[in-house]
Amino acid sequence: MSTSALSSRNFLIYLVGSTVSLHGLWVYRVALGWFTWELTGSEFWVGIVAFSQFAPAVVFGPIFGVLADRFDRRRASILINSGSVINMTLLGILAWFGHVDIFVLTTQSFIQGALDGAHSPVRMTLLPNLVEKGQLQSAIASASISFNISRFIGPAVAGIVIATWGVSAAFAINGISYLAIIAAVAIVELRPTALRSEKSGDVWAELLEGVRYTLTHKTIRALLITVAVASIFGRGALEMMPAFADAIYERGASGLATLTASIGIGAIMSGLVLSRSTAWLNSSVVRFSVITAGVLIVLFGANTEFWIAIPLVVSLGVLLSLCGVGSQILIQTLVEEEVRGRVSSLWGMIAFGGTAFGSLIVGSAAAAFGLQATVMVTGVLCAAVPLFFLDRSDNVD
């Protein structure tokens, strides 16, 4: 049997649908960040909207992780993505008719964040049910490459769409793109472990069971701590790119699209490496990638030249993707099937929730103390916390 997930017809169908949808997602994210800056010109509101986009994963992710272990993942995916179609279509219509202010935008962003937070554990638990066990690492790495190709192409598309038709069209495109993943999930055949479980009982008790499992597993625990640092101090800082693109580099929406795409280029590089071999991958490698990313964030914060910013964010794309994808690969190969959904939801809660809180903290601090100084301090914390405070005894494999 081939260890490449690309030899699986089911996975290919899912990958195509997911890739189309992800392009729409990145068109939306660039449009959302730019529209926020355009409406307010405020780093604080950029942070608030980013917070509203990711924070719901903290609330909804763990609950849906339990449900992903108990109920039909196909139906859950179709239902949640259908909600995203409706929400994005509504936002596009409101923006087209000029009925969106910063409060409406924040509300719609929160709703979409809730839907994405609900779908995250479902999406992560679907992958092991599309391929054989020996193909799982390849599937996770291939999905990462797809995600980051969309991060490269999507912002470029967003720049063209925003300049030509406005942000309302960008929101509508995202809504339409969800139809592709709905169709793919409806078509694929899922392995038996993805079918409805016969479990019944208290949702909170099962959630606590997943938390206890995670806390007592040293490697998974160490990986989640490292992901938390990367999300709060690493990705939280990069959510300020709309402000950097306009206020520091004076490049507007096209500059934001270029910077976002540059992160995608770096992440694609990381995904390609991980798709070939993961024999060298362990929690110490993931930890080192976050420390190095912190150093580069300090340099990014201090820099005022656009041409220097591009290789910096490419490198950050490599390192933060190595942390994100590498931790997923390690966790998915270590976790037991019966708690996979719950552990995956904790990863999503920390990764997306950390980004939400990080962007809120960085945005608020930047409004008070200055954008560049705040980002530099954030970079110092990103490097220092795992270097000095993460218990090295937790980094076992």
Domains, the chain, with CATH or none: 5-394 (1.20.1250.20)
The residues near 344 (Cβ < 8 Å, ≥ 6 apart) are: 65, 68, 120, 121, 124, 125, 331, 332, 335
Vertex 125, ends 124 and 130: CA angle to 5°?
100
Q: What is the pLDDT of residue 393?
A: 42
**Of how many residues is the chain composed?**
397
Q: What is the pLDDT of residue 27?
A: 93
Q: What is the pLDDT of residue 196?
A: 45
Residue 106: closest CA among 66, 146, 47 = 47
Q: What is the pLDDT of residue 232?
A: 92
The residues near 292 (Cβ < 8 Å, ≥ 6 apart) are: 319, 383
The conformation of residue 390, written as its DSSP 8-state character, comes to S
pLDDT means per 10 residues in the chain (397 residues)?
A: 76 94 92 92 86 76 70 85 96 94 95 86 80 81 82 84 93 96 92 52 77 90 93 89 89 86 86 80 92 96 94 94 90 83 83 82 90 95 84 49
Q: What is the pLDDT of residue 278?
A: 76
Residues 313-339 as b/e (b if ≥16 CB within 10 A, e otherwise) read bbbbbbbbbbbbbbbbbbbbeebeeeb
CA distance 172 to 168: 6
